[in-house]
Amino acid sequence: MSEPIYILGGWQSDFAEKALDGQVYPLLEAATIGALSDARVDPKDIEVMHIGNFAGEIFNGQGQLGGMVAAVHPDLAGKPASRHEAACASGSMAALAAMADLESGRYDCALVIGAEVLRNIGGQEAGLRLGCAAWAGREVVDEPFPWPAMFGRIGEEYDRRYGLDHHHLGRIAEINITNARRNPMAQTRSWELTTESFYEDDIQNPLVSGPLRRQDCSRITDGSAAIVVASHEFASRWARARQVALDDVPRILGWGHRTGTMLLEDKLAASIEDEYVFPHLRQAILDAYRRAGCSGPTDLDLIETHDCFSVSEYVAIDHFGITSPGKSWQAIEDGLIDRGGALPINPSGGLLGLGHPVGATGVRMLLDGARQASGQAGECQIPNAKKVGLLNIGGSVTTVASFVVGLD
């Protein structure tokens, strides 16, 4: 990357809590105040704001979220603000837009926020409404559980091409929910689950769709997250004023962003002769590696990836290049992705354990990446972590964004 983008600080809500009165403004307000405080940046120094949110109108009847962020503090009023939507990748789209603003020289300091309210209605109804990220009227029509059905179909395709053992999906869920017990902001941190809860037990872990069982599915979550990002010029001044070494401030070292065609079946059909099930996802990760100067996953110390379902992490493992295509199971069986493994995945707990407030997820990943690289991840910290790979997915692997965050 030609222009380094620094992450000066950030904040995350408690993903176990419901949004106050089922409204999005309190989440936006808390994220804004929390991120500015953590970054030690005055509101007047924020020059532009980008907000990731998928379903404000659908769940709250609320749009125009940029104006809500501007309402948090008088010094934010009048600043430019934009809202971004790409289903579960909405937060990453907000971050990419902020990065482009900084790289272009238009602005030097930006606030990136992701927020979502989903728990103000029943879980099954929420799942149906989230189905609008599929092609309405053309896929998952009359399907009571749209996203388990879509990702169950991905699991079936992996099984058809390579073979798939549910034990490996169950192990992913077990690792991530176990990791979440260390995270004081995790939705599942106090859940008590037995080993049988993760594997092929039709009572404790019933089938949902395709190969997916209950614990293979992430939960409906309310929450918000925010980061303050800055150009090299602003970060240099900021570091001098606070007597911080600029080299110790985490940066977005590389990024990749690709969009596949909308229908899942079209994506699967297009890749039938390819070694990867989702070539555009593989390319986004390679783009992030290239821009970060990474040769591959061996240059990373950990990964935070999109595990809305256990199978989406299974997909991520081979697309990151950790194993050859179709052999993600090797990294699981070898313990590579365990917290104490050579390349831990989702020490935060991931979406399965930490939670998945859709528009906030991509921003939360960037925050966790920055905290890991700067040694500020608390009980979730991976020792000596300096470079973190991130992957955020929207829809049926339609919009994908990958980042490398770390220190040089």
> Is the residue at 175 inside a domain?
no
> Is the residue at 130 inside a domain?
no
Report which DSSP code applies to 88.
B
What integer pLDDT is reported at residue 408 of this predicted model? Answer: 77
> Residue 2: pLDDT above 80?
no
> Is the residue at 331 inside a domain?
no
> Is the residue at 129 inside a domain?
no
Nearest Cα residue to 395 out of 257, 220, 264: 264
> Is the residue at 51 inside a domain?
yes
pLDDT, tens only, 155-199? 999 999 999 999 999 999 999 999 999 999 999 999 999 999 999
What CATH code is carried by the domain that includes residue 113?
Answer: 3.40.47.10
Token couple for 90: 């909405």
> Is the residue at 379 inside a domain?
no
What integer pLDDT is reported at residue 1 of this predicted model? Answer: 59
Indicate the average pLDDT of the chain.
Answer: 97
Contact 407, 247 (CB under 8 A): yes
pLDDT, tens only, 201-210? 999 999 999 9
What integer pLDDT is reported at residue 3 of this predicted model? Answer: 79
- Please state the rounded mean pLDDT for residues 111-124: 96
Share of the chain above pLDDT 90, in %: 98
Q: How many domains does the chain have?
A: 1
> Is the residue at 54 inside a domain?
yes
> Is the residue at 91 inside a domain?
yes
Print the domain residue range for 29: 5-121+220-241
- Please state the rounded mean pLDDT for residues 95-100: 98
Q: In what order do the strands lie in the sheet with 109-116?
A: 81-84, 48-52, 109-116, 223-230, 5-12, 251-259, 399-406, 387-394, 302-305
Predicted confidence band of residue 150 (pLDDT cuts 50, 70, 90): very high
- Please state the rounded mean pLDDT for residues 69-77: 98
